[in-house]
Amino acid sequence: MWIYEKKLQYPVKVSKCDPKLAKFLIEQYGGADGELAAALRYLNQRYTIPDKVIGLLTDIGTEEFAHLEMIATMVYKLTKDASVEQLKAAGFEGHFADHDRALFYHNAAGNPFTVTYIQAKGDPIADLYEDIAAEEKARATYQWLIDMTDDVDIQDSLKFLREREVIHSLRFREAVEMLKEYQEQKKVF
């Protein structure tokens, strides 16, 4: 189904140990508007969406898993050399107590990932508007994360992810217009 290249979609460089930023970045790993929720949402919605846009949901859903891998890499690199004292000072002690340095799907507040983050209405237009909203919320979160760090290497990777959210939103908007046109066409059976 996939060809696996052992490299990230975009390089992730980290200039310094920063567990505090990692704590906030984990929002995009297991939060409501994060990459896991997006990937699962889009891949699930494919089953009730017209054929015209199945490929779009498949492509973007799959790409979200690549973004999830980038976030995981950032969090890992930001915490791998942190002392227990640094993790505690960053507010990461609950995560450390439960998972050590292993990644776990939860948001920045420590709440575990839940499937209630994922929406699917079964109406293609409603689902695509939900997808647009999800991409715009993720774009906003990436901007806030960019603003929270002075690490230009992390900013670079986050800017890449932010721009992909913009592209995904635009593609979903195009899909809405395609489906509206399709619904307005006279059907002859």
Q: Which of 69, 106, 135, 177 is catalytic?
A: 135
Q: Is 5 a catalytic residue?
A: no
Q: How far apart are CA 54 and CA 57, in angstroms?
A: 5
Q: Which of 27, 35, 63, 130 is catalytic?
A: 35
* Beta-bridge partners for 112: 106
Q: Which of 67, 95, 106, 130 is catalytic?
A: 67
* 81-86 CB contacts, 8 Å cutoff, 24+ apart: 81/17, 82/17, 82/19, 86/17, 86/19
List of residues 6+ apart from 103 with CB closer than 8 A: 26, 29, 72, 75, 76
Size (the chain), residues: 189
Q: Is 93 a catalytic residue?
A: no
Q: Which of 64, 95, 106, 130 is catalytic?
A: 64
**Residue 70, CA distances (Å) to 83, 160, 182 in order:** 23, 11, 37
Q: Which of 95, 106, 130, 168 is catalytic?
A: 168
Q: Is 35 a catalytic residue?
A: yes
Q: Return the closest-CA partner of residue 164 out of 27, 5, 39, 6.
A: 39
Cα-flanking dihedrals φ and ψ of residue 42, to 5°? -70, -40
Q: Is 168 a catalytic residue?
A: yes
Q: Is 64 a catalytic residue?
A: yes
Q: Is 163 a catalytic residue?
A: no
- The residues annotated as belonging to the active site are 35, 64, 67, 135, 165, 168
